[in-house]
């Protein structure tokens, strides 16, 4: 079931109504049944994978909770990692490894050929696998006690607002909320409705409309060049942001309607002044997960220059995993590798840039310096967009080559104007970034809520009108469902 579907319009209110009508002791069972029904509608077989991940991580965590010595708990942690990561690799990455082995065998002249298997990837597997593994590691480290109630833990893994595409929650944040009797909170409920409305606007009006323009160019890049490719890449990154942050807003808003608070996943990433800051604002729950469970777990206990170089290497390794997490393509690996290199370069060149800012007196003009940093970061992020997608590396380099051809820039712009959604898409992107700036920086939300009820509801109806008038109602999946 998609958030942007007719089915969800009926599913969510019915679930909310029943949730507040039944006694507290049965609410977890209602939410668990609703979550499995929500997930079951995708494909019955996918539920078996979800249940396996839940059972394995639940029972191994219980075993770890019974053992005092950390070393003795390790075997149960390894069991969880092997099974859950094994399922992720089997369903999502088997064809990638098979293709890589066969390609290398062909280069070496070997007659070995591994068979290809067309395996369906269970939706959301990358998200709930990381969620269960994070929980198991926290129990292993002694940061939390294992959840004794299997029903509450199963709900933690399958909770319908987040099971398909996050946020990737931590057990210590979400599990305690299932044990609290949530009475109806009008303020939290209304904020949830506003988030859902804004998320739907970003998905249906902005992301799906941009996809018409972006897909037309990305599907046939041979027919475009120069500024056309450059603008398409920028709009692609905006499309992905509107799509995924729109999903997150709907997920967080849906949870708020039930009294639950999920972790934020975006914080105006295109206002970042560095690649490092960008990743602290983009897909926050994924990058913080990899920071806590991968980056800090890699070897780093050396001194002097060796330690510094190792930390930089660990940074690159972590971001390669960020890219590989997105999909079994070399383009995604290159995407992560590039981001890692940009961050390493920023770390290494920091003293040089500080001197440069002092010599050029940019440091005395903080607003100009901030604008330059935001602009450079934005361009670097957009450049990585050439590699962000389920395509080959050759296709990425071909698009870069096409982008470098600026010989027909004037006619290229005129051709872009022929797309019906081009100008409207740009205006919608500007509106989205401006509106989120007002909400985050100018405290627009507080000022808006202080307005008379007639003005507030008129604004809600206006946004709903825009969704109905300019929305693309093709029931398109959210971009991150493929991960």
Tokens matching residue 86: 């094994």
Half-sphere exposure for 70 (CA within 13 Å, toward CB): 7
d(CA 257, CA 26): 18
User: Torsion-angle region of residue 23: left (phi > 0), alpha (psi -120 to 50) or beta?
Assistant: beta
User: What are the angstrom distances between the C-alpha of 69 and each of 66, 72, 140, 399?
Assistant: 10, 6, 10, 54
Q: Is the dihedral of CA 79, 83, 89, 95 positive or negative?
A: positive
Spatial contact of 139 and 145, defined as CB atoms under 8 Å apart: yes
**Beta-carbon neighbour count of residue 443 at 10 Å?**
10
Spatial contact of 316 and 348, defined as CB atoms under 8 Å apart: no
408 catalytic? Reply is: no
d(CA 471, CA 58): 42
Catalytic pick among 152, 225, 283, 326: 326
d(CA 214, CA 229): 9
The tokens 């926050």 sit on which residue?
A: 284
The three-class DSSP label of residue 238 is helix
The tokens 């299932």 sit on which residue?
A: 178
Closest CA to 189 of 255, 246, 247, 245: 255
d(CA 285, CA 287): 6
d(CA 428, CA 419): 15
Catalytic residues: 326
């Amino acid at each position: 079931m998609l958030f942007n579907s007719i089915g969800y319009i009926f599913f969510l209110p019915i679930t909310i109504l029943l949730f507040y009508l039944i006694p507290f002791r049965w609410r977890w069972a209602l939410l668990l049944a609703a979550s499995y029904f929500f997930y079951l509608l995708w494909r019955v077989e996918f539920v078996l994978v979800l249940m396996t991940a839940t059972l394995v991580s639940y029972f191994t965590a219980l075993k770890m909770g019974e053992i005092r010595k950390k070393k003795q708990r390790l075997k149960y942690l390894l069991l969880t990692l092997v099974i859950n990561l094994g399922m992720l690799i089997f369903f999502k990455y088997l064809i990638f490894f098979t293709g890589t082995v066969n390609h290398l065998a062909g280069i070496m002249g070997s007659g070995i050929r591994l068979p290809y298997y067309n395996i369906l990837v269970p939706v959301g597997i990358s998200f709930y696998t990381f969620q269960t593994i994070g929980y198991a590691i926290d129990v292993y480290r002694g940061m939390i006690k294992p959840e004794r109630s299997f029903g509450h833990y199963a709900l933690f893994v399958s909770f319908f607002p987040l099971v398909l595409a996050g946020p990737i929650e931590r057990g210590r944040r979400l599990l305690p909320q299932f044990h609290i009797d949530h009475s109806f909170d009008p303020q939290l409920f209304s904020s949830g409705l506003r988030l859902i409305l804004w998320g739907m606007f970003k998905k249906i009006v902005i992301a799906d409309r941009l996809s018409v323009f972006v897909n037309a160019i990305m599907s046939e890049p041979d027919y475009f060049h120069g500024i056309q490719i450059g603008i398409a890449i920028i709009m692609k990154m905006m499309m992905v942001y509107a799509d995924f942050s729109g999903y997150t807003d709907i997920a967080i808003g849906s949870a708020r309607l039930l009294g639950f608070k999920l972790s934020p996943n975006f914080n105006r990433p295109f206002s970042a002044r560095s690649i490092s800051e960008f990743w602290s604002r983009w897909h926050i729950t994924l990058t913080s997960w990899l920071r806590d469970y991968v980056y800090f777990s890699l070897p780093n206990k050396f001194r002097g220059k060796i330690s510094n170089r190792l930390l930089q290497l660990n940074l690159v390794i972590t971001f390669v995993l960020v890219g590989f997490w997105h999909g079994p393509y070399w383009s995604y690996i290159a995407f992560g590798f590039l981001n890692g290199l940009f961050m390493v370069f920023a770390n290494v060149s920091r003293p040089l840039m500080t001197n440069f800012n002092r010599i050029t007196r940019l440091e005395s003009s903080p607003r100009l310096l901030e604008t330059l940093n935001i602009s450079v970061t934005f361009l670097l992020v957009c450049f990585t967009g050439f590699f962000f997608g389920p395509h080959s590396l050759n296709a990425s380099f071909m698009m870069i080559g096409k982008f470098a051809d600026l010989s027909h820039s004037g006619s290229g712009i005129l051709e872009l104007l022929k797309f019906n959604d081009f100008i409207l898409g740009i205006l919608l992107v500007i509106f989205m970034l401006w509106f989120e700036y007002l909400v985050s920086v100018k405290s627009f939300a507080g000022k808006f809520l202080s307005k008379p009820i007639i003005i507030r509801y008129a604004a809600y109806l206006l946004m709903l009108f825009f969704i109905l008038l300019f929305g693309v109602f093709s029931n398109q999946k959210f971009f991150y469902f493929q991960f």
